Every structure is written in structure tokens, then in C-alpha cells.
Copies of this chain bind each other. A is one copy, B any other.
Amino acid sequence: MDNKKVLVRARGITRSKERIREENELIILIAAEKVFAKHGLKGSTTKQIADMAKLPKSNIHYYFHTKLNLYRCVLESILVDWMRAADTFNKFDEPREALKYYVGAKMNLSRTRPFGSKVWANEIISGAPEMEEVLSSRLKQWVDTCVSSINRWVELKKIVNVGDAHTLLYMIWATTQHYADFDYQVMILNNGKELTDSEFEEKKQQVIDLVLRSVGLNP
């Protein structure tokens, strides 16, 4: 109808094509992240994602073509946040600072983007069919530098000899991501109540302290 068009124009709320695409892609990505987190790639349906996004199913296909492609886009978008958190590790020379801020950043990510963490978890549990390349290139590289840092700290006697540095890294990853991936279990064992923000801050500090002590540092 021309009426509608004129009305919209008059109100100045016309969305440009560019904005429309941007907005819808974001809406779909957010919806897909939630659905994939809960059901994994194979277990999620495009209909579920469409319903979550409050858009017709055809619209999902219009913007992302296939479910697999949408899934890859979700993984990619999570990777961005993930790498940002990873950066904090190498910003500090002192193990106490590096560990404190890295563990803190990972905990924050678990709090702010739990669905993303779950999608990753699902992907790795399934044998990482879509992330193989990222894991063995970008992640491997980052881990190698991390391992070097940790080994240097050991040599300089700044931390205890932890054996294989990977073991420490895995402990940090696993523990911090536990609060996202297993949030439901955490809630049940917290007497059925979600962790409040201040409770979460407490846990974060406790995790940091556990990690610091685990390498022989006194928090």
C-alpha cells in the first residue's frame, strides 16, 4: 500500500536496505546461537531458529542460505569474542597478573555469552567437524605461545613446575567454561537459583585464587 509507505516516510523510520540486512542478520545470529547451544547442529531445526528470531523460515534461508552456513557464521562470530579474551593472557609479563586477568576475562565471557560457549562445546564434543582448521591453526598457534610463557615462568622460578603447561591451560578453560556450559547444573546445585551478579563475582575471585595457588602463587 502506498499509504503505509508515505506514513513510514513521514515518520522517518524507513530502514535502509543496508540496515535491514545488518539488523536481520544479527537477529538471526543471536537466535541461532541460542538454538544451536541447546540442540547442537544436527539437533537444531531451521524452523526453531526462525521461531526464536520471530521471522519466517524462508527468511533465514534468504540471509544464510543453508543451516550449515549459518552454523559456521555463528561459530565465527563467537571466535571473535573468544580471541579477544585470549589476548589478555599475553598483555602481562608477571604470571600473577596474566593469570588473574585471563581467568577473569574467561569468566566474564562465560557470564555474558553462555550460549556461544555452549555452541563451541557442542562442536568440540562432536569432534569439531567444522572447526578443525581453526583449532589446528589459529588456536594451536595461540596455545603454543601461551605454553612458552608458562614454561618461561617456570624457568624463572616465578611459578611452580607444573609439568606440561597444557594441563594448566586446560584447567583454566574447563573451569571457567563450566559456568557457561553447565549453567543449568550450577543453578540446580545453587538451590535452584541462578547466580546473582555479586555471587558470580565471588565465584570469579575464588576461581582466580584457586588457579593462582595451583601454580604456587599466593593470591
Q: Which of A25-33, A37-45, A71-79 contacts B (4 or more CB under 8 A)?
A: A37-45
Question: Bound state CA distance, A72 and B207, in angstroms?
Answer: 33
Q: How far is the CB of A12 from chain B (nearest CB, A)?
A: 43
Residues of A in contact (CB 8 Å), total 58
Decide: A206 and B40 in contact? CB cutoff 8 A. Answer: no
Given A41-B43, A43-B43, A170-B175, residue A189 in contact with residue B143 (CB < 8 A): yes
Decide: B126 and A188 in contact? CB cutoff 8 A. Answer: no
Decide: B38 and A126 in contact? CB cutoff 8 A. Answer: yes
Of all chain B residues, the one with the shortest Cβ separation from A199 is B164
Supply 22 A–B pairs (Cβ within 8 Å), ascending by A. Answer: A38-B127, A39-B126, A40-B40, A40-B42, A121-B121, A124-B184, A124-B185, A127-B184, A128-B185, A140-B188, A143-B189, A160-B213, A162-B206, A163-B202, A164-B202, A164-B203, A166-B189, A166-B190, A167-B210, A171-B207, A173-B178, A213-B213
